[in-house]
Amino acid sequence: MPRHLSLVAAIAAFGFLVACDRGSAAGGADPATQGPRAADDGKLPFAIAEVATFDEPWALVSLPDGRMLVTEKKGHLQLVDAGGQKHEVSGVPTISYGGQGGLGDVALHPHFATNHLVYLSYVEAGAGPLRGAAVARGKLVEAAGGARLEGVQVIWRQVPKIDGGGHFGHRMKFGADGKLWISSGERQQFDPAQDMGANLGKVLRLEDDGRVPADNPFAAKGGVTAQVWTLGHRNPLGIAFAPGGQLWELEMGPAGGDELNRIVRGANYGWPRVSEGKHYDGRVIPNHASNPTYKAPAISWTPVIAPADFIFYTGKQFPAWKGDIIIAGLKSEGLVRVHITGETAREVARYPMGHRIREVDQAADGALLVLEDGTPARLLRLTP
């Protein structure tokens, strides 16, 4: 039996109404409704079809013609057609692979249909053991000999580079105003998240070529400080715009305290001074309620779900989910659905997939595209 069919059979047999980690609410969410659940009849509300397999995939983006670009951490960018055939794109920048680092996110310029610009985030080497995330863009060119990126230019770098292999963040999204938003992790160093002389532990806002918009909250200060939109983030692995244009951010907490945050211009979200989790050695961190100076998450999870990315669902195939957040869960090994009401958030369901999930995206027809984590890892298409 094919792997995806055996998974569906297992789901039907066991119902998958297992007890999952319960989220703890913040920011006005109702704890009594926090319990995750699958569909009422115990079955997953979607069929699962395998599209292709990859070696440590990290992100994907759909092209206007329905094909996809998929990144693999070791430095490969794959162009995938509707039938699941892969064609490697050449011209990818040199990456530094190891730990949580490697080739990361992929995004299309808002005017990709005419300028063919593709944006990649990745980890690059510095002097000695130092490493840091970067963002580059190049033009996707296709010819009889294959696909390649031309004119690749680095438009952003983490400052400073740090020795270590974790918490790069480096998710990207374009806003409706054409600005490029980047999540930058604090590199497991704690303090840089509050240091305005570094762009680590921040959510950043740039022009499409890496320049700093004049209306950024700290633009007058110059340097990397001018890039900052919000600060006090730990390991931000997801950013997405709600249908109305509001930006939200998702980050991993320490031992507990994964956070979903509504992003407010110039706000400080508190890491490492406050958190809904604890240090790994058990030391207590004051929570957000102890210091209202710092903006509290709309929802937090203890035990953690280990979020990897998320989207706001806007399609037609799952009408009951319209406007909800769909989260890719690593430790939680499935999808987590969250309903947003104004500034509050409430988890409404979990859909176990039996595998760590690295990425979730929405196809043009409203199907969900899901990337498993690791090797081999499948790209799955979910439909009702």
Name the pTM for this structure.
0.89
State the pLDDT at residue 351.
97
| Secondary structure letter of residue 92 according to DSSP | P
And the tokens for 89?
Answer: 């794109």
State the pLDDT at residue 225.
98
d(CA 231, CA 119): 23
State the pLDDT at residue 131.
98
Instruction: State yes or no: is 116 an active-site residue.
Output: no
Q: Closest Cα to residue 275, out of 234, 222, 330?
A: 234
Distances (CA, A) of 253 to 1, 4, 189, 258, 373: 39, 32, 14, 4, 19
Domain boundaries defined on the chain: 3-383
CB 359 within 8 A of CB 368: no
From the candidates 167, 170, 233, 288, which is the catalytic residue?
167
Phi, psi of 356 (to 5 degrees): -60, 130
Q: How many degrees, rounded to 5, is the angle at CA 201 between CA 198 and CA 207?
A: 70
Question: Quick one: CATH architecture of 3-383?
Answer: 6 Propeller (2.120)
Q: How many degrees, rounded to 5, is the angle at CA 314 between CA 312 and CA 317?
A: 120
Q: What is the pLDDT along the chain (384 residues), one digit of tens a residue?
A: 444 433 333 333 323 323 333 333 333 333 323 333 444 445 899 999 999 999 999 999 999 999 999 999 999 999 999 889 999 999 999 999 999 999 999 999 999 999 999 999 999 999 999 999 999 999 999 988 789 999 999 999 999 999 999 999 999 999 999 999 999 999 999 999 999 999 999 999 999 999 999 999 999 999 999 999 999 999 999 999 999 999 999 999 999 999 999 999 999 999 999 999 999 999 999 999 999 999 999 999 999 999 999 999 999 999 999 999 999 999 999 999 999 999 999 999 999 999 999 999 999 999 999 999 999 999 999 999
End-to-end Cα separation, the chain, in angstroms = 21
What 3-state class would DSSP assign to 37? Answer: coil
24, 26, 32, 36: CA torsion to nearest 10: -50
